């Protein structure tokens, strides 16, 4: 029940991503990133939508899909992640801080047995990173530390992971 409520809350948070806006307001508010590392398993694609911007501060929601590139069996090992990211900085250099949720869809594979994902319920991830956005072309690069926190009944498990990505702004 709690997992379903968490998924519904995450989807409602991201509903504004798909709303229509005028052509002038779309510039640089939408981002698509291909990334390697967490919160995806090994690789992933995510869509980000800027929901607020004032001066050097902006907030973005994101919705992504991660998959295991070493065992490409879609439907057996993938995840959906959703979150909120804060960007602080000028037009090129930005610090990013974020928080989100991951829902893994796993089958019997190496990552399941190595990390014992059977008993894991809600998965929370954080993000501390750096983002560089080129000024004259709509390309961005990002790198960050993405720790994953797994909330079990008896303990909190922590996995220190990282991510690197390349993206397109429109």
Threshold 0.85, pTM exceeds: no
Q: Which residues fall within 8 angstroms of residue 110, CB to CB, at 6 or more apart?
A: 71
pLDDT band at 39 (very low <50, low <70, confident <90, very high): confident
Q: Which residues fall within 8 angstroms of residue 157, CB to CB, at 6 or more apart?
A: 120, 149, 150
Task: Please answer whether residues 163 and 143 qualify as being in contact, where contact means their C-beta atoms are separated by less than 8 angstroms.
Answer: yes
Sorted by where each starts, the structural domains of the chain and their CATH numbers stand as 2-13+30-169 (2.40.160)
* Residue 103 to residue 125: CA distance in whole angstroms: 11
pLDDT band at 160 (very low <50, low <70, confident <90, very high): confident
Q: Which residues fall within 8 angstroms of residue 15, CB to CB, at 6 or more apart?
A: none
Listed range (40-54, 56-70, 98-112) with the worst mean pLDDT: 98-112
* pLDDT, averaged across the chain: 79
Task: Please answer whether residues 60 and 80 qualify as being in contact, where contact means their C-beta atoms are separated by less than 8 angstroms.
Answer: no
Mind listing the pLDDT tens digit for each residue in 66-113? 887 766 665 567 788 999 999 999 989 999 999 999 887 765 554 545
* Residue 144 to residue 166: CA distance in whole angstroms: 12
């Amino acid at each position: 029940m709690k997992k379903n409520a968490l998924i519904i809350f995450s989807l409602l948070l991201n509903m504004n991503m798909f709303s229509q806006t005028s052509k002038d307001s779309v510039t640089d508010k939408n981002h698509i990133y291909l990334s390697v590392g967490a919160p995806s398993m090994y690789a992933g694609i995510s869509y980000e939508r800027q929901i607020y911007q004032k001066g050097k501060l902006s907030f973005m929601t994101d919705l992504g899909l991660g998959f295991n590139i070493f065992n490409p069996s879609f439907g057996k090992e993938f995840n959906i992640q959703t979150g909120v990211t804060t960007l602080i900085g000028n037009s090129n250099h930005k610090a990013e801080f974020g928080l989100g949720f991951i829902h893994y869809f796993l089958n019997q594979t190496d990552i399941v047995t190595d990390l014992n994902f059977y008993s894991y319920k809600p998965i929370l991830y954080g993000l501390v990173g750096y983002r560089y956005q080129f000024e004259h072309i709509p390309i961005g690069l990002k790198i960050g530390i993405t720790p994953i926190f797994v909330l079990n009944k008896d303990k909190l498990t922590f996995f220190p992971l990282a991510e690197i990505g390349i993206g397109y702004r429109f």
